[in-house]
Amino acid sequence: MPKRPMQPADLYRLRTLSDPAISPDASRVAWVQSQADEASDRVQSSIWVAPLDGSAPPTAFTEGPSDNTPRWSPDGRYLSYLSTPENGPAELRLAPLTGGVPRRLGSFQGAVSQPAWSPDSRRIVVVSPTGLAAAPGERSASERNAPRVVRGLAARFDNVGWFEGRRHLFVIEVPSGASRQITRGDFDNIDPSWSPDGTMIAFSSDRDRRRDDRQLRSDLYVVGSGGGHPRRVTSDRGRVVLPAFSPDGSTIAFVGHAGGEAWNHDARLFVVPADGSSEARPVAPATDRPILLVPWSPPPFQWLTDEALAVLVSDHGSTELRVSRLGESESRVVVGGDRQVDGLSVAGDGRSAVFTSAWPDTPSECYTTRLGAKGTVSPAGGAVKRVSRANDALLADVALGPVTRATVTAGDGTPVEYFMIRPPGKVTAPLPIHLDIHGGPHGAWPSGRFLSFHQSVAAAGYVVILPNPRGSSSYGQAFTQACTGDWGGADAGDILACVDDVIGRGIGDGRRQFVSGGSYGGFMTSWLAGHTRRFSAATAVAAVIEQGSMFGTSDIPGFVEFNFGLPWENPSEYEFRSPLTYATSITTPMLILHWEGDLRVPISQGERLYAELRRLGRSVEFVRYPAGSHVSRTPSQSIDWVRRLLEWNTRHDTGSAVGRRRGV
């Protein structure tokens, strides 16, 4: 039976794998498996386990609906994980591998996160907040209506909400569940990691007096596993996250940068002596590519020996598994090619590795590979073996459009890479064009997170263009910072050059061009609509529209200031870099999509654009989704987004039958 093209509702069948964890004896791997559930309209997750040698099919270890962060005890007796009950915060649960019912471990005021086992398997360190108000159902009327005193400019975060209390480290005894708090004070402490002898814990914290007004700044600290006064190891030069001791305990690796409060610095891997006797130094300093760093995700690296680390490095839109050796200037690729490795775990012997990865035409799965002895690249050359079969049923029914790369030279000679997704099967060019612009601006296409969206658009008959203009990550530090302070400048030219290249090659139809983008991509969508009339229709998703109000209402005001200065010192720049300034020039039909719970780009941004275009009598439609955030939405909302975009394009497409009937 022939396969059919992907439809938006296929999102319910797509499964995403993440956070793999290899067992201490390298015989099994656990991972988090997530899938959109239509009945509950939420993404549900559970823990799955499979033998590494493929001798048995993967099986569900937990039932969900919200389980994640599987962690094997070093002695192989337990698998711990986090589970979020229907009406409560995330809990730590302990499952004996010899059988028995998993049970909650410890009791905390708020959500538990970032669990890490001690080397002797007798303790687990976790992060949990203290100083929280009572649960809403336990508050009096006056307590529920009490005002919030905002403690600084960095007092909230998208998809998290307003910060309450402070996050601290707790050590839990296994199996009793008794716990003790080992950090204190008016600071947030995250990313705990044990020393090999179990006496010390490294963590990340910002303890500067300006901590409540700044973001992306932190230092490395070390504290005794029984508590005490933390010792600072780094010197407040930038950002430190996810520290990890070397096997001999003499060195600590971490991800971060030494760029102060810069928002455009690529994340790099550093090492520092555990005693703080010298400054941190970069690993593989000549590798001018960023380390994969996703907020609230597991470390993108792991020690192999005292001199070598496995690390996830992003390069030209891909994310590769590499090995970096201390003292060597370049990292070496173990697993590369057209894939985005987004999770990593290495066995205790440093030889077996498991990872999860995806690509826009290859849904997420879990794989295994072999590493060379003592942190060298294996003679097998990065050969991989698939462990999971999570998306086999979907791929048996659905054909995905192929993804290809291309490079165009911008007007000033800068090479700019873009990706194309064409409809599956044999198609006749030229095709209508749908340009989709990524957010950030320091992001990059492709992204497995958008597989369903991009494949559904391609399946509707479009060639989907995914450009990585200057400002995109994975092309080196100079390229990443090239759009800072120049939004709508050379980056806009790069994007249009990619579209022109597709048209010039006879693949895309220059008479049928459509554009969309989210966040910074929504800014660029609106900017292009105000500066060109080449697009038949545009869809702006959670778009930055007016920079002045972004400074005062976004959860990251420092990012706005970094790009454009202070609004009272540089008002003309704020006005110039705002798509709203050019609203009177917009004649492109605009579909505006926004989420009411968005703290990153508040919905007032979409409201401003809609109000002006509506008052000007332009073709505009405003869709408000309840709740959500800048980065999260329910499955039904994600499906509705794609369907509305496709209908909007068709409505304004003079080359389509619907558009012709409507007289567009």
Q: How does the average pLDDT of the chain come out, rounded?
A: 94
Alpha-carbon gap, residue 415 to 409, rounded angstroms? 4
How distant is the alpha carbon of residue 391 from its chain centre? Answer: 21
* Domain end position, chosen among 86, 103, 120: 103
Backbone angles phi, psi at 240, to 5 degrees: -135, 120
Q: Is the pLDDT score of 352 beyond 70?
A: yes
Determine, yes or no, domain membership for 602: yes
Q: Is the pLDDT score of 378 beyond 50?
A: yes
Determine, yes or no, domain membership for 188: no
Model confidence pLDDT, tens digit, residues 516-551: 999 999 999 999 999 999 999 999 999 999 999 999
Bridge partner residues of 128 (DSSP)? 168
Residue 663 — pLDDT band, cuts 50, 70, 90? very low
pLDDT of res. 664: 47
What is the mean pLDDT of the segment spanning 449-456?
94
Alpha-carbon gap, residue 157 to 242, rounded angstroms? 19
Q: How far is CA 602 from CA 1, 373, 549, 598, in A?
A: 47, 51, 9, 5
What percent of the chain clears pLDDT 70, i.e. is strictly above it? 97
Model confidence pLDDT, tens digit, residues 250-272: 999 999 998 888 999 999 999 99
Determine, yes or no, domain membership for 634: yes
Ranking 49-53, 83-87, 295-299 by mean pLDDT, the lowest is 295-299
Residues 6+ apart with CB under 8 A from 494: 410, 414, 416, 467, 469, 470
Q: Where are the alpha helices (DSSP H) in 349-429?
A: 392-397
Domain that holds residue 93: 33-103
Positive or negative torsion for Cα 249, 254, 259, 262? negative
Determine, yes or no, domain membership for 75: yes
Residue 10 — pLDDT band, cuts 50, 70, 90? very high
Residue type at position 21: A
Determine, yes or no, domain membership for 164: no
pLDDT of res. 260: 87
Alpha-carbon gap, residue 523 to 538, rounded angstroms? 11
Model confidence pLDDT, tens digit, residues 178-201: 999 999 999 999 999 999 999 999
Model confidence pLDDT, tens digit, residues 615-649: 999 999 999 999 999 999 999 999 999 999 999 99
Determine, yes or no, domain membership for 411: yes
Contact 264, 559 (CB under 8 A): no
Of 259, 265, 140, 252, nearest in space to 203 by CA: 252
What is the mean pLDDT of the segment spanning 559-563?
95
What is the mean pLDDT of the segment spanning 653-660?
67
**Total tally of structural domains belonging to the chain:** 2
Alpha-carbon gap, residue 143 to 148, rounded angstroms? 11
Peptide bond connecting 65 to the previous residue in cis, omega within 30 degrees of 0: yes
Determine, yes or no, domain membership for 76: yes
Model confidence pLDDT, tens digit, residues 467-524: 999 999 999 999 999 999 999 999 999 999 999 999 999 999 999 999 999 999 999 9
Q: What number of H helices and E strands is found in the chain?
A: 12, 40
* Domain end position, chosen among 103, 137, 153: 103
pLDDT of res. 467: 98
Alpha-carbon gap, residue 498 to 502, rounded angstroms? 6
Helix axes 520-531, 490-504, angle to 10 degrees: 70
* Domain end position, chosen among 54, 82, 103: 103
pLDDT of res. 358: 97
Q: What is the CATH number of the domain that holds 428?
A: 3.40.50.1820
Determine, yes or no, domain membership for 516: yes
pLDDT of res. 236: 82
> Assign residue 111 a region: left if phi > 0, alpha if psi is -120 to 50, beta otherwise?
beta
Q: Is the pLDDT score of 660 beyond 70?
A: no
What is the mean pLDDT of the segment spanning 154-161?
92
